[in-house]
Structure 1
């Protein structure tokens, strides 16, 4: 079996065929003739919605909920006899995994998995899943809202009024009509963002070497190389996973190619942008503004230079969080745990080569 990798759209593919390791729910979930015996799941963050936890309990699970950012010792103790883990912001290290001899699945409450030691999971026979499409609409809407807030100077105007400054000069605001939107990564979120712009008659350029022509055309977009997109777009929005291929995909050279009037939006992963280069680009006027929801190190330091720049909107990695999306994410994360405990593959399996390892899971599906 060829090991999978993530393409720029955030989709899983094997080798050259770019196919998703995606199991339809009709094939893998809720099989009536397969019962899950008593099991224990550790939930690493107390703010995860109850809907998914109730689903686990209804199947006979013992659910242990830890407070977010609990000390390592509390997490180590909790996983000693755990069968599953629902992980949000916690870092799943090799040490943690070695202390959990019964653990069969790490189910990410979200779509990123850079905080999970994937190699160790696979070696031990632990499946790693993500919550696929659960928060895609929320993130796409948030990215568009960030574009709008930045273009219209909404945050700056609010700050001025609160400071008792009635400044009616908003001449630097930008209209969306007729502008060009550049989307880096046309996955579930990028494609939704492309459709959200339809009422503004914007041109959409897409950089994603893995996206099909049909997928790009269905969004009313055009394919472009990254350099061409950066040189042309008035708005650039990032929607790719963080991998070795995409780390600092926007660096000093890329920022230098952008329009001086351009607005850069990142609701994906912090490591996609070289933050030091971004600070310099904003200070030197190489780009006009930025709206950033994710950072290389989180929580963001109080003295981080991006927080000192007026043309920048900073938010606390909240793009994927709405009432509806958090419920969906908790349910999908729980369903993924139940699927693995039944010996089935979750909807999106990050490490499909684990199917060949039966040390911890008695898989009932063909790993090929």
Structure 2
């Protein structure tokens, strides 16, 4: 499929940053099946991780044109055949200045920092890696338990000296197996979460406009209930967990119209993207106790401030966008990525070629 990566010598440029080091990227490339004739290292940004977080948020909200390329990258583009990045942006202008570019690799799942359309127009495959699907799925499951069983709330009250056993949801606290969990989006994180919930014998319903039923069957989810619309999920589920990408079409689609469908005993879980949810509508629903609660790891504006409206609510669990932050996932992502590339070369794996249909449509 991409045999040129191993059959022909490649001039590879790796662009690392404060979280994924360029030297780690080079080691991963040289340990793979790719014919790495030359590897050049570039560093994007600086060592300030707070600055990195701000740049990341800007790219996720505004796309690959929102931040400058890595300093020192431009002179290397003329001969670059493979570009490997973590979060350094790959806009159309960069692609246009790389006449020999034949593949773009990224050490993450999100594509906000890459102009995938521009790459597709040049028939350049973009290959990503799902490095944190399992960590985020585990975290989402943890948030469900923390919210429904009052783990976080009771801890907070005990730390303040209160021995409290009554909470706003005390009248309907249940085991997970007695609740129906609805997943809006069944991509990589949603799939991993569904596998874990199924193992715990939790009733599931799922909705995804691009549902891969064969993949569901391969993962033992062939008998899971599929519903047609996200509104069906909000109407039927006791816990609604979001697993959608943030796009112009999905921004703000979870709003009052969805919350009004939920039972007063239902909860919202969001470990995907804060921008999916109309935050003002959610806070209003929480204040009125129109829904039982929400557990959130992501927000439309980060970091949160007291003015964002969550302070003082007694039916919310919030964490500072840490669902995917494990010590193994991000630093090791170059090796995970190159193992994915090796599977493409040896097994014809196509799931991680983001623009596969555009590249191989002819």
Give the TM-score range, shorter chain: 0.7 to 0.9
Match 1:267 to one of 271, 274, 295: 271
Greater alpha carbon shift after TM alignment, 232-241 vs 320-329: 320-329
RMSD, aligned α-carbons: 3.6
Q: Look up the match of 1:221.
A: 224
> Per-residue deviation at 1:239?
1.4
Kept in 1, the 8 Å contact 2:127–2:354? The answer is yes
CA distance in structure 1 between the aligned counterparts of 2:183 and 2:8, rounded to whole angstroms = 44
Counterpart of 1:115 in structure 2 is: 113
Report matched runs for 1:222-301 at 5 Å: 222-225=225-228, 226-301=230-305
In structure 2, the residue matched to 1:36 is 9
User: Hey, what's the Cα distance between the residues in 2 that align with 1:30 and 1:141?
Assistant: 38
What residue in structure 2 maps to residue 139 of structure 1?
Answer: 136
Task: Identify which range, 269-278 or 196-205, moves more after superposition.
Answer: 196-205
Q: Any unmatched runs of 5+ in structure 1?
A: 1-26, 356-365
Provide structure 2 residue ranges, at least 5 long, that are not aligned to the other structure. 56-66
Q: 2:198 touches 2:204 (CA, 8 Å); kept in 1? A: no
The alpha-carbon distance between structure 1 residues 37 and 210, as it changes in their structure 2 partners (threshold 3 A), is closer
Q: Which residue of 1 aligns with 2:327?
A: 323
Tell which deviates more after alignment, 116-125 or 312-321.
116-125
Aligned to 1:309: 313
Distance 2:361 2:209 in 1: 28
> Residues 276 and 166 from structure 1, CA distance in 2 versus in 1: closer, same or farther, beyond 3 angstroms?
same
Cα distance in 2 between the residues matched to 1:155 and 1:247 = 29
Q: Structure 2 matches for 1:147-162, cutoff 5 A?
A: 147-162=144-159
Give the distance between the partners of 1:297 and 1:104, measured in 2 at CA: 36
Aligned pairs, number: 327
Q: Do the aligned partners of residues 180 and 122 (structure 1) sit closer, same or farther apart at CA in structure 2, a change above 3 Å counting?
A: same
**Scaled by the length of structure 2, what TM-score is found?**
0.74
Give me the whole-angstrom Cα distance separating, in 2, the residues matched to 1:106 and 1:247.
27
- SS class of match (1:250): coil
**Deviation of 1:205 (Å):** 0.8
Q: TM-score, normalised by structure 1?
A: 0.73
Residue 58 of structure 2 corresponds to residue 63 of structure 1 = no
Report the Cα offset of residue 252 of structure 1: 1.4
- Return 251-260 or 66-75, whichever deviates more: 66-75
Aligned to 2:183: 183
Tell me how far apart the structure 2 counterparts of residues 31 and 78 of structure 1 sit (CA, whole Å): 21
Structure 1 Cα separation of the partners of residues 5 and 113 of structure 2: 31
1:130 equivalent in structure 2: 128
1:47 to 19, 43, 51: 19
Q: Give the distance between the partners of 1:303 and 1:131, measured in 2 at CA.
A: 36
Q: Which protein has greater RCO, CA pairs closer than 8 Å, 6+ apart?
A: 1
Report the alpha carbon displacement of residue 125 of structure 1 after superposing the two structures with TM.
6.2
Q: 1:214 to 1:315 in 2, by over 3 A?
A: same
Residues 338, 65 of structure 1: alpha-carbon distance in 2 compared, 3 angstrom cutoff: farther
Would the alpha carbon gap of residues 103 and 163 (structure 1) be closer, same or farther in structure 2, given more than 3 Å must change? farther
Distance 1:353 1:252, change over 3 A: same
